[in-house]
Structure 1
Amino acid sequence: MKRAFITGITGQDGSYLAELLLEKGYDVHGLVRRSSAMARTRIDHLNDNERLHLHYGDLTDGVSLVNLVRQIEPHEVYNLGAQSHVKISFEMPDHTASTNAIGTLRLLEAIRAAGLECRFYQASTSEMFGLTPPPQNEQSVFHPRSPYGASKLQAHWVTVNYREAYDLFAVSGILFNHESPRRGENFVTRKITKAVAAIEAGITDHVELGNLDAVRDWGFAPEYVEGMWRMLQADEPDDYVLATGVGYTVRDFCEAAFAHAGLNWAEHVKHNTAFERPSEVDALIGDASKAKAALGWEARTRTPELARLMVDSDREDLRRLLGS
Structure 2
Amino acid sequence: MNDINRKFQRVLITGISGSGGSFLAEYIVNNHVDVEVHGISRWHSTASHDNLNNIKERVYVHECDLLDLSSIIRVLETIKPDGIFHMAAYANVKNSFITPLSVINNNVMGTANLLEAIRLTKLNPVIQLCSTSEVYGRVEPKNVPINESCPINAVNPYSVSKVTQDLLGQSYFLSYGMKIIRTRMFTYINPRRLDLFATSFADQISRIELGLQDELFHGNLDSTRTLIDVRDAMESYWVALTKGRIGEIYNIGGENIYKVGEILEILKSKSSGDIKSRLDPLLLRPTDITLQIPDSSKFLLETGWKPKYLFEDSLNHLLDYRRRVNIRSNC
TM-score scaled to structure 1, two decimals?
Answer: 0.92
Give 1:144 shift: 1.1
User: Which aligned pairs between 1:250-265 and structure 2 lie closer than 5 A?
Assistant: 250-262=260-272
Residue in 1 aligned with 2:5?
Answer: none
Conservation of the 8 A alpha-carbon contact between 1:172 and 1:240: yes
SS in 2 for 1:91: coil
Conservation of the 8 A alpha-carbon contact between 2:42 and 2:63: yes
Residue in 2 aligned with 1:129?
Answer: 136
User: Which aligned pairs between 1:15-94 and structure 2 lie closer than 5 A?
Assistant: 15-23=22-30, 24=32, 25-36=34-45, 39-49=48-58, 52-94=59-101
Give 1:322 shift: 5.0
Conservation of the 8 A alpha-carbon contact between 1:246 and 1:285: no
Give 1:244 shift: 0.9
- Cα distance in 2, alignment partners of residues 124 and 311 from structure 1: 26
Conservation of the 8 A alpha-carbon contact between 2:181 and 2:244: no
SS in 1 for 2:13: strand
Residue in 2 aligned with 1:215?
Answer: 224
- Cα distance in 2, alignment partners of residues 215 and 304 from structure 1: 18
Residue in 2 aligned with 1:271?
Answer: 279
CA offsets, 1:271-312, max 9 Å, x none?
A: 011111111111111111111100112233354442232112
Give 1:37 shift: 8.8
- Cα distance in 2, alignment partners of residues 197 and 163 from structure 1: 45
Conservation of the 8 A alpha-carbon contact between 2:182 and 2:250: yes
Conservation of the 8 A alpha-carbon contact between 2:244 and 2:302: no
Long gaps (5+) in structure 2: 1-7
Name which of 86, 101, 104 aligns with 1:97: 104
Sort the Cα spacing of 1:42 and 1:93 in 2 relative to 1 into closer, same or farther, 3 A.
same
- Cα distance in 2, alignment partners of residues 263 and 285 from structure 1: 32
Instruction: Provide runs of 4+ in structure 1 moved above 6 Å.
Output: none
Give 1:264 shift: 6.0
Give 1:318 shift: 3.4
SS in 1 for 2:44: helix
SS in 2 for 1:74: coil
- Cα distance in 2, alignment partners of residues 8 and 259 from structure 1: 34
Long gaps (5+) in structure 1: none
Aligned pair 1:164/2:200, yes or no?
no
CA offsets, 1:60-82, max 9 Å, x none?
A: 22221122112211100111000
SS in 2 for 1:36: coil
Name which of 233, 236, 243 aligns with 2:253: 243
CA offsets, 1:23-60, max 9 Å, x none?
A: 312111111111139820110221222xx211111122
Sort the Cα spacing of 1:320 and 1:137 in 2 relative to 1 into closer, same or farther, 3 A.
same
Name which of 212, 234, 240 aligns with 2:243: 234
Give the letter aligned to residue 167 of structure 1.
G
Name which of 192, 204, 208 aligns with 2:213: 204
- Cα distance in 1, alignment partners of residues 164 and 101 from structure 2: 14
Residue in 2 aligned with 1:147?
Answer: 157
Sort the Cα spacing of 1:21 and 1:300 in 2 relative to 1 into closer, same or farther, 3 A.
closer
Give 1:315 shift: 2.4
Q: CA RMSD in A?
A: 1.9
Give the letter aligned to residue 293 of structure 1.
L
Sort the Cα spacing of 1:142 and 1:250 in 2 relative to 1 into closer, same or farther, 3 A.
same
Conservation of the 8 A alpha-carbon contact between 2:67 and 2:110: yes
Aligned pair 1:117/2:124, yes or no?
yes
Sort the Cα spacing of 1:235 and 1:244 in 2 relative to 1 into closer, same or farther, 3 A.
closer
Aligned pair 1:300/2:308, yes or no?
yes
TM-score scaled to structure 2, two decimals?
Answer: 0.90
- Cα distance in 2, alignment partners of residues 286 and 257 from structure 1: 23
Conservation of the 8 A alpha-carbon contact between 2:19 and 2:47: no
Conservation of the 8 A alpha-carbon contact between 1:216 and 1:249: yes
Give 1:313 shift: 2.1
- Cα distance in 2, alignment partners of residues 261 and 236 from structure 1: 44
Higher relative contact order (CA 8 A, sep 6+): 2
Sort the Cα spacing of 1:37 and 1:174 in 2 relative to 1 into closer, same or farther, 3 A.
closer
Number of residues of Structure 1 aligned to a counterpart in Structure 2: 318
CA offsets, 1:246-276, max 9 Å, x none?
A: 32121111111110114565xx111011111
Aligned-residue identity in percent: 26
SS in 2 for 1:291: helix
